[in-house]
A and B are shown apart, each in its own frame.
Chain A
Amino acid sequence: MSVPVSISLLVNGEPIDAFVLPRLNLADFLRENLKLTGTHVGCEHGVCGACTVRVDGEIVRSCLMLAVQAQGASVETIEGLSDSGEVADLQAAFRERNALQCGYCTPGMLITAQDLLKQVSMPDRQAIREHLSGNYCRCTGYQAILDAVEATAKTRAERRA
C-alpha cells in the first residue's frame, strides 16, 4: 500500500527525477540516493541540526521533511554551498579558529551560520548564539564556533566597506 512516488526537484541547481517511498526523509534521500553525504543525520527528530539544508532559500531540518515534500523545490546542501564558494570564508574561519573538531555538526553549523549572516550583517554574540541554538556540537566547540562566525561577519563587513 506504500508505493513509490515520483518527484522532480533541483538539488544544488541540478534537476533530479526520482521514485521514492513516502517514508524516505529528505536527509536520507540526499545521502543514500544522491550520495551527498555532507548532510549529516544525528537525532532524526529535529533536535540536533546536523541535517540542516536549504529548501527554496530557507534553512530546514532535512530529517523532518519527506523527500516527497521536496517536489518542485530547490534544495541546497553543504556540497552546493561549498562548491559555489558561498561559504569559503566561513569554512576558512572555522579552520583557523579550531571550530571544526570532529566535524560532525559542521555542515549544519555552516549552513545555519550563513543563514544568519545573510539576514544580519553584524550580529552580536548573543544573536549568533541564538541562531545556532538549534545545532548541537558534541565536542562542545561552541565558543570557537561563535568566534568563527563573528570573525567572518567582521571580515565581510570590512570587505564591503
Chain B
Amino acid sequence: MKAAAFAYARATSVVNALELLAAHGDKAKVLSGGQSLMPAMNLRLLSPDIVVDIGGLAELRGFAVKGDVLVIGALTRHVDLLGSPEVALHAPLLRDAVAHVAHPAIRNRGTIGGSLAHADPASELPACVVALDATIIVRGPAGERRIAATRFFKGIYETALSPDELLVAVEVPVAGQGSTFFFQEYARRHGDYAIVGLAARAVVAGGRFTDFRLGFFAVGDRPLLATAADKLINASVTAVLLAEAATALADELDPQEDQQASPAMRRHLAAVLLRRCVAALLARPELEAGATR
C-alpha cells in the first residue's frame, strides 16, 4: 500500500525542526531513518499532515565520550552502532542488540533516536536503554529536557515526548569495572520482531551480582525493568533462588496474546532467558537447566 498524501519539510537545523513541530503540533511526524515510520504510513496506520525530515542534520549524528557517559546522537544509524569502536568498548550491549535489529538494508537507515521515539514494545533498543539506565535528551521550545529511560516509555508507541519536542541524543553510562552484558531474543526468523527478548547489564564481583538490571521486551506494552532481578543481587545464587526469581518474574509480567505466542508461552520463554542470562553472566552453566525443588 502507499502512504496517504502529506506535505514535506526538510529541516535545516534542530531549531528549524522545532519551529516546524511547534507550528504543526501533533499533525506532524518526524522522519529520521524512516524504517518504522514509513511502514506505518504505507500501511495507513499513520497519516500525518506533514513530515518533518531531520535526516540531513549532521549535528545529531555520531558519538562522544563525556566523562563517564557515551553520548549517542539521535540520528546515529544501527549500522554505525554495529561498527563503532566506542560502542564496542563502552556499551557493547547496544552492538549485540543491533545485530538482531531487522536486516542490513534496514540497519543502514534505521536510527537509534527513531527506534526510541517510535517505542515499539517488541523492539530491541528501548529495552537496552532501560537496562543501561540511559538518559534520553530531548529539545523543545523551552529548551533541553533530560528524561530517564525508565520513565521515557509510556505504552505501545507512547513516550514522554511532547509533539513539539525532538529526541536529540541518548546518554549511556560507560561500562565500568566488572560490567558484563547479556542480550538474547526469540524470533521466528533472525531479524524479525522478538517473541520475547532480554537485554541485561550486570556487575559481577566475587561470583555475585553487585548490580543486575533486566530489560525484558515484547512482554508488555513497554520495555520492562524486571524487579525479579533484585533478589539475585548480593546473594549467593543457587538453583533454588533462581527458581524463585523465575517465578517472581512470571508473576511480574503481563504479556499480550498475539499471533506469535500466548501469555503463558511468553512467561515461559522469559524465565528461560532469565536462567540463561544468569548462567552466562556468572559463568555457571549448571544454573541454566533450572531447579527441581
Which residues of A come within 8 Å of B, CB atoms? Answer: 1-3, 5, 21-23, 25, 28, 44-46, 49, 52, 58-61, 63-66, 68-69, 71, 112, 115-116, 130-131, 133-135
Contacts and interface: CB of A to CB of B under 8 A. Distances in A.
Contacts of B53: 66, 68-69
A63 B34 CA distance: 10
B106 A1 contact: no
Contacts of B4: 23
A65 B108 CA distance: 12
Given A59-B104, A60-B105, A112-B104, A68 B190 contact: no
A45 B106 CA distance: 11
Contacts of B35: 46, 61, 64
A134 B34 contact: no
Interface string B73-112: 0000001000000000000000000000011111011000
Given A28-B2, A66-B51, 8 more contacts: A22-B7, A44-B2, A45-B1, A46-B102, A61-B106, A61-B109, A64-B39, A116-B104
Interface string B179-197: 0000000000111000000
B42 interface: yes
A14 B22 CA distance: 39
Among A3, A60, A71: residue with most chain B CB under 10 A: A60
B60 to A, nearest CB: 16
Interface in B98-138: 102-106, 108-109
B49 A1 contact: yes
Among B2, B102, B105, B190: residue with most chain A CB under 10 A: B105
Interface residues of B, number: 31
Contacts of A130: 190
Nearest 7 interchain pairs by C-beta: A134-B103, A22-B8, A45-B39, A64-B38, A2-B5, A59-B105, A58-B108
B131 to A, nearest CB: 25
Contacts of B106: 46, 61, 64, 134
B38 A65 contact: yes
A59 to B, nearest CB: 4
A63 B105 CA distance: 11
Contacts of A52: 105
Contact of A23 (B3, B104, B108): B3
A65 B43 CA distance: 14
Nearest to B34: A64
B157 interface: no
Given A46-B38, A134-B106, A1 B55 contact: no
A22 B6 contact: yes
Given A46-B38, A134-B103, A60 B108 contact: yes
B95 to A, nearest CB: 16
Contact of A133 (B3, B5, B189): B189
Given A44-B1, A46-B106, A58-B108, A68 B8 contact: yes
B105 A112 contact: yes
A65 B31 CA distance: 10
Among A21, A22, A63, A135: residue with most chain B CB under 10 A: A22
Contacts of A23: 2-6
A59 B105 CA distance: 5
Contacts of A61: 35, 105-106, 109
A43 B242 CA distance: 44
A133 B104 CA distance: 9
Given A22-B6, A25-B2, A44-B42, A69 B34 contact: yes
Contacts of B7: 1-3, 22
A59 B108 contact: yes
A45 B191 contact: no
